[in-house]
């Protein structure tokens, strides 16, 4: 009998109708969790994720929420609690890119990315922390142990340390995510809430399709990856699950790079 790592834990994954969020939702779903699948505009895609979890024998619901809207985020958590009674894990994943050269970047492009990627994580994490603290601890599986009562994993990016011309809104948002994550981790640890983030490199998802679907761009992308392959959303989902599990209970305020070595300055391998 295989042990289901997240049996009966309630896991909210923001932005889980596609890409890395979807892979996380499916992974938690096949590991026994009750999954709250969240989308903001593509309802059809969200419904497909829920169907896939259920057809694999898992449990999931679909909730629409724009993470940059305070009332939407509150309603997302209220619906999770209404359906499943509690929340154990938040994967604060929803994010996007709106690329433009710096000299041409509009305030709207800047603001949109900061709103979703940074303010959205603030709103989701704040709601999760409040819920973890307020809910009935006696029914928490970790109530009579030293283990965390709630876990948060934020979606950052290698661009929380790698500067990225042409994407300054995105890089600024992810740099912000790193210090936000570390600061709330420091603040929430005494409540036995663990907060960490993952920083994916080039992962084959819709967000960077323009790069991996073009043979020339794909070839030059591989030069930035010592491990010489593009990542999969499952590569990231497995690391997220580890950070959300009791196996990483003593890991707090850390950023785990899942990037095939992209942050190793690959251009220095035969240069410098
Ligand atoms: C971006 C991708 C990019 C990758 C590596 C990610 O955070 O969303 O578009 O391919 O970083 O540069």
Indicate whether 261 pLDDT > 80: yes
Indicate whether 142 pLDDT > 90: no
* φ, ψ at 253 (rounded to 5°): 70, 25
Can you tell me the distance from the alpha carbon of 65 to that of 193, in angstroms, rounded to the nearest whole number? 24
* pLDDT given for residue 269 in this prediction: 94
* pLDDT given for residue 3 in this prediction: 76
Indicate whether 1 pLDDT > 80: no
* pLDDT given for residue 23 in this prediction: 98
Q: If you measure from the C-alpha of residue 178 to the centroid of ligand 1, how many angstroms do you get, rounded to a whole number?
A: 16
- Nearest Cα neighbor of 203 from 230, 239, 170, 240 is 230
What kind and span of H or E run contains 39?
strand 34-39
Q: If you measure from the C-alpha of residue 208 to the centroid of ligand 1, how many angstroms do you get, rounded to a whole number?
A: 7
Q: If you measure from the C-alpha of residue 185 to the centroid of ligand 1, how many angstroms do you get, rounded to a whole number?
A: 25
pLDDT in tens, 211-236: 999 999 999 999 999 999 999 999 99
**Strand order from edge to edge, sheet including 59-64:** 59-64, 34-39, 10-13, 89-92, 150-155, 193-200, 255-258
* pLDDT given for residue 55 in this prediction: 98
* pLDDT given for residue 138 in this prediction: 77
Distances (CA, A) of 152 to 4, 42, 129, 183, 190: 19, 25, 8, 13, 14
Can you tell me the distance from the alpha carbon of 47 to that of 62, in angstroms, rounded to the nearest whole number? 7
Can you tell me the distance from the alpha carbon of 147 to that of 189, in angstroms, rounded to the nearest whole number? 11
Q: Please, which residues have CB within 8 angstroms of residue 118's CB and are 6 or more apart in sequence?
A: 173, 176, 177, 180
pLDDT in tens, 174-208: 999 999 999 999 999 999 999 999 999 999 999 99
CA 172, 113, 151: angle at the middle one, nearest 5? 80
pLDDT in tens, 5-56: 999 999 999 999 999 999 999 999 999 999 999 999 999 999 999 999 999 9
Strands 150-155 and 89-92: parallel
* pLDDT given for residue 141 in this prediction: 66
Q: Mention the CATH class of domain 10-268.
A: alpha beta
User: Looking at ligand 1, which atom is closest to the CA of residue 162?
Assistant: 12
User: Looking at ligand 1, which atom is closest to the CA of residue 211?
Assistant: 10
Can you tell me the distance from the alpha carbon of 153 to that of 1, in angstroms, rounded to the nearest whole number? 28
Q: Is 39 labeled as catalytic in the residue annotation?
A: no
Scored b (16 or more CB within 10 A) or e, 243-271 reads bbbeebeebbbebbbbbbebbeebeeeee
- Tell me the pTM: 0.97
pLDDT in tens, 104-139: 999 999 999 999 999 999 999 999 999 999 998 877
- The residue to which tokens 């059809």 are assigned: 44
Can you tell me the distance from the alpha carbon of 7 to that of 10, in angstroms, rounded to the nearest whole number? 9
Query: Could you tell me the pLDDT band of residue 162, with boundaries at 50, 70 and 90?
Result: very high
Residue 201, both tokens: 């490199």
* pLDDT given for residue 174 in this prediction: 98
Can you tell me the distance from the alpha carbon of 151 to that of 162, in angstroms, rounded to the nearest whole number? 27
**Residue of 157, 163, 225, 255 to mutate, ligand 1, most atoms within 8 A of C-beta:** 157
């Amino acid at each position: 009998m295989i042990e289901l790592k997240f049996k009966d834990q309630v896991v909210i994954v923001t932005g889980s109708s596609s890409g890395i969020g979807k892979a996380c939702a499916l992974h938690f779903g096949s590991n026994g969790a009750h999954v709250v699948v969240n989308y903001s505009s593509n309802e059809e895609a969200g419904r497909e994720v829920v169907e896939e979890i259920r057809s694999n024998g898992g449990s999931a619901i679909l909730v629409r929420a724009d993470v940059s809207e305070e009332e939407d985020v509150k309603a997302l958590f209220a619906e999770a609690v209404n359906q499943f009674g509690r929340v154990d894990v938040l994967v604060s994943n929803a994010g996007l890119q709106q690329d433009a050269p710096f000299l041409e970047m509009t305030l709207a492009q800047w603001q949109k990315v900061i709103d979703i990627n940074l303010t959205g994580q603030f709103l989701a994490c704040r709601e999760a922390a409040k819920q973890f603290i307020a809910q009935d601890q006696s029914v928490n599986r970790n109530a009579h142990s030293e283990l965390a009562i709630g876990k948060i994993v934020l979606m950052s990016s290698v661009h929380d340390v790698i500067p990225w011309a042409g994407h300054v809104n995105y890089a600024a948002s992810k740099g912000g995510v790193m210090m936000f994550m570390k600061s709330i981790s420091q603040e929430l640890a005494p409540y036995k809430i663990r907060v960490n983030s993952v920083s994916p490199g080039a992962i084959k998802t819709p967000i960077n399709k323009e790069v991996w679907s073009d043979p020339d761009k794909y070839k030059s992308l591989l030069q930035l990856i010592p491990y010489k392959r593009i990542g999969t959303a499952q590569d990231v989902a497995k690391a997220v699950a580890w950070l959300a599990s009791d196996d990483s209970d003593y890991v707090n305020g850390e950023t785990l790079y899942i990037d095939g070595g992209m942050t190793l300055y690959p251009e220095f391998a035969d240069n410098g």
